[in-house]
Chains A and B, each alone.
Chain A
Amino acid sequence: MAHVNNTYGTMAVKTGMLIIAAALLFAPFLFQDVRALEVAARICIFIVLVASYDLLIGYTGIVSFAHTMFFGFGSYGAAIALKQMGPGWDAVAIGTLAGILVSLVVATVIGLISLRVKAIFFAMITLAAASVVLVLASQLSHLTGGEDGITYRAPDLFKTANKLMVDDNGKVVRWFGVKLNGKLAAYYFVFFSSLALFLVMLRITVSPLGTVLKAIRENESRAEAIGYRVVAYRTFVFCLSAVAASVAGSIYAIWLKYTGPDTALSFAIMIDILLMVVIGGMGTMWGAVIGAVLMVMAQYYLRDLMGAASEATANIPLLPELLAPDRWLFWLGIIFILLVYFFPRGIAGTVMTKGARK
């Protein structure tokens, strides 16, 4: 890859990052409706999830289809603990740790068995493992609630009725029109824990470890010949990203107060992650941010647009069906294919090389 440290493209991407970070930080104040806050929280979670996936696919060149499985372990860990032990920080801690532990064990087993074989075997094996876990989650319904999932209460601090600050009349204080209640606390819990996780991953990519991972991606046998144990490194990074995904899952479970196959385990989430990482740009953490922001926004707002387009073309055969709001993945799939053909580095990678000295 060309040196992309001082191009104006890189400056543009980094400026964009600052804007996104600021927008997310002040999201409750900037966009004062429930749906927008939902979107902002989802963006935070998915940034972590996609960044951790990028550690695998972009930095190390491993394709895994089991990333939602680890996300699900974290989600279900927190959900089951909160359901069984009642809302409390001890339940959150135990659930999160249990999720991490399960993720670590499963990731190590899969990694050691299958990371020594070809990339394609690994992709197939993770796909099989993820689907088995999905079926297990719906079968063990006494624990996971089956297809219906689990609803539970989050710790009291995050209750919407919880007042963080009260004025003299005992009413909740408003800042710039925003109530300082538990919902706000929950959002900032999501925001700051996501930010911390993201920064840790960012730090890893610029560390010597990150350099070794890139070496493995570029030329596996050469990295091995220099003396790095490729299987050990791959397994390690697989475990690392599994843990990050698992923690993201736990945070999301606390935010949503609901965990089910559709929000935590389904293959649709895996496809979302894949689309985000490719659209944003593989091999840069910034790409994960761009991909997550664009895709989540598209998920929430593109459908409205498509609904209108579908009605407008009602007289043409097949087109209305393809423009129906539920078919938005069709168009994203096509965009995805075109991007892989023509801009394999995604948005971030392509922009960052603009202005690079050859």
Chain B
Amino acid sequence: MDKLSETLGRYGGVNLLPVVLAAIAFVLIGAPSSWVTLTIAGLSMGMMVFLMASGLSLVFGLMDVMNFGHSAFISFGAFVAASVLAALGGWLDSDSVLLASAALGLALLAAITFGLAAGLFFETVIIRPVYRDHLRQILITMGALIVSEQIILAVWGGTPVTVPRPSFLDGAWIIGDVSIEIYRVFAFGLGAVVFTGLYLLLNRSRIGLLIRAGVENREMVESLGFKINRLFIGVFMLGSALAALGGAMWAGYETLITPALGGEMMIVVFIVVIIGGLGSIEGTLLGAIIVGLTANYIGYLAPKLALASNMILMMAILMWRPSGLRPAVK
């Protein structure tokens, strides 16, 4: 048994879980073409959820702050991007791929900018006064979530908003009898780029070194003379911007969004963060991909169980590893 776990550890340990999951699903589904479609859908959903969840996990890891209002950034990102895309409808409709991608780029950029600004506001006004007090943090951020949802309702109204998307991302590639939605590939690609960027930032740069040191031992970093509060504002803004980006991508994926979007995604984000372990982006990515794959496989195999499956998955993983698969926090 020890030898087995050692061998497994050498080949990636818990990182193998998605592969195992995919293999089991392959046997259960039986049809390779549906399996490929579902796997790609799961991976792209996982990547979008990763965008939304990574900030939450980092912020908790670095500062021991849990932001229950995180889903507000997701909703705002989605609605801001939808508004920009709607305003640039002329560019989207034109035949030029360049103009259409410029519109998409601007929409995503608007979401990111909004996320940065909202993150700065949130951190300094809402969260700063309640550092180190979990009970009040939960309450305050919950209150901020209520207010943000009401602002979204006041500005965009309660009716569903259609999100136009560039025509070159619509449709699907057909290879043999496998169909692959282009938008999913795009979402996966963007998620992978962001993950690589974050990974390099955290593991190869000086700022990343400080962030990781801060996660490990905050007081020690402070006593060495670094202003960890400023670093924290930066991480918080980055996390909010990523959540807004994730929300924007999700809006394009769903194409019809309601103000309830943030709340719905928040549950998934929480489950991902808990499964992955707080504080590490690798853990978050792992959790997001596992959740994405499970959601799609179960959605195909037993649609009624789709949402409960995430919950069962979380319970199972928590019983096996109480602090998640790859936690960075003590």
Contact = CB atoms under 8 A, between A and B. Distances in A.
Contacts of A124: 66, 270, 273-274
B126 interface: yes
B274 A125 contact: yes
A329 B154 CA distance: 11
Given A329-B150, A330-B147, A127 B270 contact: yes
Contacts of B154: 318, 321-322, 324, 327, 330
A118 B322 CA distance: 10
B134 interface: yes
A327 B149 CA distance: 10
A271 B146 contact: yes
B134 to A, nearest CB: 5
A132 B295 CA distance: 13
Given A132-B310, A329-B149, 18 more contacts: A61-B135, A113-B315, A119-B134, A119-B138, A120-B66, A121-B274, A123-B68, A123-B138, A124-B270, A125-B274, A271-B146, A324-B154, A336-B139, A336-B146, A337-B144, A337-B147, A340-B140, A341-B129
Interface of B: 60, 66, 68, 126, 129-130, 134-136, 138-140, 142-144, 146-147, 149-151, 153-155, 263, 266-267, 270-271, 273-274, 304, 307-308, 310-311, 314-315, 318-319, 322-323
A131 to B, nearest CB: 5
A18 to B, nearest CB: 30
A332 B143 CA distance: 9
Interface in A108-151: 113-114, 116-121, 123-125, 127-129, 131-132, 135-136, 139
Contacts of B322: 116-117
A345 B60 CA distance: 26
A66 to B, nearest CB: 12
A333 interface: yes
A132 B313 CA distance: 13
A329 B146 contact: yes
B138 A63 contact: yes
Given A63-B138, A139-B304, A340-B136, A128 B143 contact: no
Nearest to A282: B135
Given A61-B135, A128-B271, A341-B129, A267 B263 contact: yes
Nearest to B304: A139
Contacts of A224: none
Interface string A323-347: 0101101101110110011001000
A276 interface: no
Nearest to B139: A340
15 contacts: A120-B134, A124-B270, A128-B267, A132-B307, A136-B307, A267-B263, A274-B139, A278-B139, A322-B154, A329-B150, A332-B146, A334-B147, A336-B146, A337-B143, A340-B140
Interface in A253-295: 267, 271, 274, 278
A336 B143 contact: yes
Nearest to B129: A341
B318 A114 contact: yes
Contacts of A116: 322
Contacts of B314: 125, 128
A258 B154 CA distance: 30
The 6 closest A-B pairs by CB, nearest first: A330-B150, A333-B146, A333-B147, A337-B143, A321-B154, A336-B143
A136 B308 CA distance: 8
A129 B271 CA distance: 10
A333 B143 contact: yes
A64 to B, nearest CB: 10
A320 B146 CA distance: 19
A260 B172 CA distance: 40
B138 to A, nearest CB: 5
A340 B127 CA distance: 12
A305 to B, nearest CB: 17
Counting chain B CB atoms within 10 Å of each CB, which of A61, A125, A128, A327 scores highest? A128
Interface in A33-79: 57, 61, 63
B282 to A, nearest CB: 19
A321 B151 CA distance: 9
Contact of B136 (A118, A125, A322, A344): A344
B311 A129 contact: yes
B55 to A, nearest CB: 15
Contacts of B270: 124, 127-128
Contacts of B315: 113
Contacts of A341: 129-130, 140
A11 to B, nearest CB: 29
Contacts of B266: 127
A171 to B, nearest CB: 48
Given A139-B304, A271-B146, A113 B271 contact: no
A114 B176 CA distance: 47
B262 to A, nearest CB: 12
Nearest to A124: B270
B139 A330 contact: no
Contacts of A337: 126, 140, 143-144, 147
Interface string A235-246: 000000000000
Contacts of B153: 326-327
A63 B133 CA distance: 13
A321 B310 CA distance: 37
A124 B318 CA distance: 13
B73 to A, nearest CB: 16
A113 B311 contact: no
A139 B307 CA distance: 11
A113 B311 CA distance: 13
B264 to A, nearest CB: 8
A118 B65 CA distance: 12
Nearest to B148: A333
A129 B319 CA distance: 16
A63 B150 contact: no
Contacts of A336: 139, 143, 146
A205 B50 CA distance: 43
A322 B273 CA distance: 34
Contacts of B138: 63, 119-120, 123
Nearest to A63: B138
Interface string A91-122: 00000000000000000000001101111110
